[in-house]
Amino acid sequence: MRYFPIFIDAQALQVLIVGAGEVAARKLELLLKSPAHITVVAPEVCTTVRHLAESDQVTLVERAFEESDLDSRRMVFVATSDEALNADIHKLATQRNMLVNVVDNTPLCGFITPSIIDRSPLVIAMSSGGNAPVLLRYLRQKLESILPANLSKLGSFSERFREKVKQSLSTVTERRYFWESVLEGDIAEEVTQGNDDKAEQKFLAALEDASEQKQTEGQVYLVGAGPGDPDLLTFRALRLMQKADVVVYDRLVSPQILELVRRDAEKIYVGKAKSHHTVPQHDINQILVDQAKAGNRVVRLKGGDPFIFGRGGEEIETLLTAGISFQVVPGITAAAGAGAYAGIPLTHRDLAQSVVFATGHLKDGTIDLNWQGLAQGNQTIVFYMGLTGLPIICEQLIKHGLSADTPIALVQKATTSDQKVLTATLSSIVTHPQLSEMKPPTLIIVGSVVSLQSKLNWFE
């Protein structure tokens, strides 16, 4: 993110625009939506600028630029057709630590103006850093069609009662829960329909009820984040992630998914790798209990699915003992994601009529599995967390009846742009020259269905 997005208070902002053509007119028109005071300096003035300059906010100076024009200004837009002059003004303004924008010349811009959707007091600003203006325009059109024009009424209503809510509800969490109930309920509907008196009556009644309640009871949501691709999140998972007060997440949650969490939520990393637990499981369980008892809405964000090698069962046992309310939100498990994105169907009418998921290591660190049950024909086996124990897995499957020529696939970082697939046989995979390049998280798929990978591999 090269350009850091901020909103500047324009109440007493002094802005200079150098140039008075149609390009400058667009900037002037935008600035006039704010309370800023604007000075326009140019020897020649187009009709549009002259018309806009009739506003009391604008001072029009019809002469060539002088360095003293920069005095007492905090922001300057340079919009002349003289490239040398534009560069000189940029240099002078930069020396004064001013915010400077040379229109249509990104390298000479200390800031850029975003694409704006105005539902004042709600304002949405978007930018592509000057790299994709058509895409930006497309996204703005989409958002304009989704966001109703009367959304501004809801913003004004919220602004009107913000201080009263703050006085009535003492904690940030209580206020957040209250506002969410307002914005998602019939009060918001009354506001957007223009029924202000009815909306106010319902609002004040709801606020009185909320202020009389004791501390808000927290809740824990065990949420499956899926195998890595953010597009594979469920709608419910995304909704809870954007409402969470606290997010407790592990190392299998991709950075792209973590970006979708509410910005001001507290994020607690409890990542674990084989034989290296950053935070022991019993401590994770206690974190969930403590945060919920503090009245927080807690999302326990897990890679894949919470109930498939995600220790979700262990965590909710603790929550039950502590009397903490919880919900479980399933996610696409890694096996399903890896198989689909690697082009390996886990079941197939001709090749595999069953599929079994197994862990590559048990709680005590061993790989003491039911090998006889796993080594069955016409069955796909998916091993989670099995990369370290790969030699033992191959050895035991062959020993218990699978052919040494049975296909095997390793899928690293499935469903992400870093996905890598390595295929071989049970007898050859451990000596494969590229095996050393495979790193966790890697899933192991064993069975005849792996033979379809080269034909069905659509993602890579």
CATH number of the 14-113 domain: 3.40.50.720
Residue 349 pLDDT: 94
DSSP 3-state assignment of 169? coil
Q: Are strands 442-446 and 266-269 parallel, antiparallel or unpaired?
A: unpaired
Phi (first) and psi of residue 451, to 5 degrees: -65, -15
How far is Cα 265 from Cα 88, in angstroms, rounded to an integer? 45
Q: How far is CA 118 from the centre of its chain?
A: 23
Among candidate residues 397, 340, 349, the one with its CA nearest the CA of residue 371: 397
Instruction: Give residue-wise pLDDT tens across range 396-436.
Output: 999 999 999 999 999 999 999 999 999 999 999 999 999 99
pLDDT for 214 beyond 60: no
pLDDT for 8 beyond 60: yes
Residue 414 among known ligand-binding residues: yes
Whole-number Cα distances in Å, 392 to 98, 281, 427, 429, 447: 65, 26, 11, 12, 17
* The domain made up of 153-212 is a member of CATH 2.60.40: no
**Alpha helices of 309-442 — where are they, by DSSP H?**
312-322, 334-342, 371-374, 390-399
Domain borders along the chain are 14-113, 117-147, 153-212, 219-332, 335-456
This prediction's pTM: 0.72
Percent of the chain with pLDDT over 90: 74
Q: Do domains 219-332 and 335-456 have the same CATH topology?
A: no
Q: Are strands 276-277 and 272-273 parallel, antiparallel or unpaired?
A: antiparallel
Residue 305 among known ligand-binding residues: yes
Residue 304 among known ligand-binding residues: yes
Strand partners, 183: none
Average pLDDT for the chain: 92
Residue 213: band (very low, low, confident or very high) from pLDDT cuts 50, 70, 90? confident
Strand partners, 124: 117
Place of tokens 């809870």: 240
The two tokens of residue 111 are 């800031």
Greater confidence (56 vs 183) lies with 56
The superfamily in CATH containing domain 335-456 is Tetrapyrrole methylase, C-terminal domain (3.30.950.10)
pLDDT for 240 beyond 80: yes
Give the least confident one: 142-151, 225-234, 306-315: 142-151
Residue 91 pLDDT: 96
pLDDT for 276 beyond 60: no
The CATH architecture assigned to 219-332 reads: 3-Layer(aba) Sandwich (3.40)
How far is Cα 399 from Cα 406, in angstroms, rounded to an integer? 13
pLDDT for 292 beyond 70: yes
How far is Cα 363 from Cα 340, in angstroms, rounded to an integer? 28
Residue 304: band (very low, low, confident or very high) from pLDDT cuts 50, 70, 90? very high
Greater confidence (120 vs 13) lies with 13
pLDDT for 275 beyond 60: no
Q: Which fold has domain 117-147?
A: Double Stranded RNA Binding Domain (3.30.160)
Q: Are strands 272-273 and 379-384 parallel, antiparallel or unpaired?
A: unpaired
Catalytic residue positions, numbered:
250, 272
What would the mean pLDDT of 136-148 be, rounded to a whole number? 87
Residue 265 among known ligand-binding residues: no
Give the least confident one: 53-62, 195-204, 248-257, 269-278: 269-278
- The H or E element that residue 256 is part of is helix 255-258
Place of tokens 């004040």: 204
What would the mean pLDDT of 223-241 be, rounded to a whole number? 94
Based on C-alpha coordinates, what's the Rg of the chain? Answer: 30
How far is Cα 365 from Cα 16, in angstroms, rounded to an integer? 68
Residue 82 among known ligand-binding residues: no
Residue 365: band (very low, low, confident or very high) from pLDDT cuts 50, 70, 90? low
Residue 323 among known ligand-binding residues: no
Instruction: Give residue-wise pLDDT tens across range 246-263.
Output: 999 999 999 999 999 988
pLDDT for 103 beyond 90: yes
What would the mean pLDDT of 280-286 be, rounded to a whole number? 93
